[in-house]
Chain A
């Protein structure tokens, strides 16, 4: 559909879904977990006790737009 000769250039080969899936599952989980620790941990939910993680990333959490406080 979105197809224009000007924008085409050298396209990358299509990666088969079978090849993407394991990376998507493993990587996707890891990335979402990383975001969870910055954005949510020790706020709405908590894996650890205390509030060190929350306090350490506090400014980033607010400025990135995650709900906090």
Chain B
């Protein structure tokens, strides 16, 4: 179990490094522009300039790297735990196939669906007063989405015994879509985009965020699979 966890964390770290590269090239210009907008608005209102606690250079280099690499490593560890639970119990596939399936489902349930309801926002979008409320809603949506995934998988397995794997899978997908759509419909929406904020900047920022998470999940699934394939080639311990 220890070596499994370690491999997960290594895969996550490498994925984090790759995602950092993408974030640096495609994400940082949008963050810079958004901060520029924020400063302009503050100046127009006559607010005093905010003191810089951490310089922009540090934020955009080691700050960004630390953030993405730590989250990547931690995600890799959790990924390995999920693999250990699922392997041989829910799936009976090669390690590589299992890791790719976990990566796809994890990406959809933890990032994609919650972010359709509560998308990533650049600096200056979002009021500081509502940060507690927004954080609760965001993590609430992730928890709900994961619960819906668990229900969908267990239903898919039950139906698969009588109706076949394909039909079982379709029923599972249907259940997941219905449950998460319901949550998305009932939970309150948040729109705190300030007046005059460039639409193309918001779009580009969100695309960059989507790209970062896609790279993170895809690389993690593929690299962890490769590392496990090597583990299973060795004699079992």
Contacts and interface: CB of A to CB of B under 8 A. Distances in A.
Interface of A: 1-4, 7-15, 17, 19-20, 23-24, 27-28, 30-32, 34-35, 37-40, 43-45, 50-52, 55-69
A10 to B, nearest CB: 5
Contacts of A3: 92-93, 165
A44 B132 contact: yes
B82 to A, nearest CB: 9
Contacts of A17: 85
Contacts of A37: 70
A31 B12 CA distance: 12
Nearest to A60: B67
A10 B232 contact: yes
Contacts of B124: 69
What DSSP secondary structure best describes chain B's contact surface? Answer: helix
B87 A15 contact: yes
**Which 10 pairs, one residue from A and one from B, show the smallest C-beta to C-beta distance?**
A60-B67, A9-B94, A14-B88, A44-B135, A65-B120, A31-B74, A57-B67, A55-B54, A67-B134, A34-B74
Nearest to B58: A56
A20 B126 contact: no
Nearest to B34: A62
Contacts, number: 199
Contact of B97 (A9, A28, A38, A60): A9
B59 A65 contact: no
B54 A67 contact: no
B53 A35 contact: no
A13 B88 contact: yes
Given A43-B131, A44-B132, A63 B78 contact: no
Nearest to B60: A59
B171 interface: no
Nearest to A13: B236
Contacts of B90: 1-2
Nearest to B22: A63
Contacts of B161: 1
B120 A15 contact: no
Nearest to A9: B94
A60 B101 CA distance: 26
Contact of B27 (A2, A59, A67): A59
Interface in B130-144: 131-132, 134-136, 138
Contacts of B31: 59, 62-63
B123 interface: yes
B121 A67 contact: yes
Nearest to B158: A1
B138 A67 contact: yes
Given A56-B54, A59-B23, A63-B208, 5 more contacts: A7-B97, A9-B96, A44-B131, A59-B63, A62-B122
Interface string B78-104: 100100110111111111110001000
